[in-house]
Structure 1
Amino acid sequence: MELTPAAAELLRRLRQVHGPLMFHQSGGCCDGSAPMCYPDGEFRTGDSDVLLASLAVDGVAEPVRFWMSKSQYAVWSHTRLIVDVVEGRGSGFSLEAPEGVRFLIRSRLVGT
């Protein structure tokens, strides 16, 4: 799993405002299939979630943990996931929403 430079820059800015961060991708309808960024620990994870990565961001002391629902992980498990940022509003629950951008996942197939 990796971050694009644009995603890393946005995470640095969000970290300055909100403190430590986390992602969760549920695979639900609408914006649920997009990665949602929260203050670390604000979204409660459990047995139905998988910790995919602890993403290092230059200039940020603590990694940004990326969680995904097990059902969503089953769909994405054969790909290399890349967190990116695009123009446009996503969910009002994700921290980047007021910035006029949204996180999204890009993927590349990996060899089996």
Structure 2
Amino acid sequence: METIQRVTATDAALSLIQYLQSKHGPLLFHQSGGCCDGSSPMCYPAGDLLIGDHDKLLGYIGGCPFYIAHAQYEYWKHTQLIIDVVDGRGGMFSLEGPEEKRFLTRSRVFTAQELQQL
């Protein structure tokens, strides 16, 4: 039986993650809940963002931990997050911005069977 992942990444996103790791070292992701950069997956050097008690580790993409705020998780817990990358400027605090790329969250609703496995 295949393990169900709450967060995955496209090949394009994985390629950009690998490039950013070569420039910045270990990374982490946090799914933003709004504010300055909308609802974007934000990429930071590991250790540059304080992870709080209300942040939930969803999984790993490209070997990097991916967190989401508890309130956002409650809203999206029935979906799988699929991290992709598109051309254009993204979040002003996220590492991919200067590369003229931005990470983008796509999603799909888990099936009833997948939800039971989770």
Aligned to 1:34: 40
Quote the Cα distance in structure 2 between the aligned partners of 1:98 and 1:38.
Answer: 13
1:16 aligns with 2:22: yes
> What's the C-alpha RMSD, in Å, of the aligned pairs?
1.1
Unaligned runs of 5+ in 2: 1-6, 113-118
Unaligned runs of 5+ in 1: 58-62
Quote the Cα distance in structure 1 between the aligned partners of 2:34 and 2:65.
Answer: 20
Alignment deviations for residues 51-89 of structure 1 (CA, whole Å, 9 cap, x no partner): 11022x3xxxxx200011001111111011100001111
Tell which structure's C-alpha radius of gyration is larger.
Answer: 2
* Letter of the structure 1 residue corresponding to residue 28 of structure 2: M
Quote the Cα distance in structure 2 between the aligned partners of 1:37 and 1:111.
Answer: 29
Is the CA contact (8 Å cut-off) linking 2:37 and 2:92 kept in structure 1? no
Matches within 5 A, 1:12-91: 12-55=18-61, 57=62, 63-91=63-91
* Letter of the structure 1 residue corresponding to residue 102 of structure 2: R
Quote the Cα distance in structure 2 between the aligned partners of 1:26 and 1:92.
Answer: 12
Q: State the secondary structure of the residue aligned to 1:6.
A: helix
Q: State the secondary structure of the residue aligned to 2:34.
A: coil
* Letter of the structure 2 residue corresponding to residue 29 of structure 1: C
Stretches of 4+ aligned residues off by more than 3 angstroms:
none
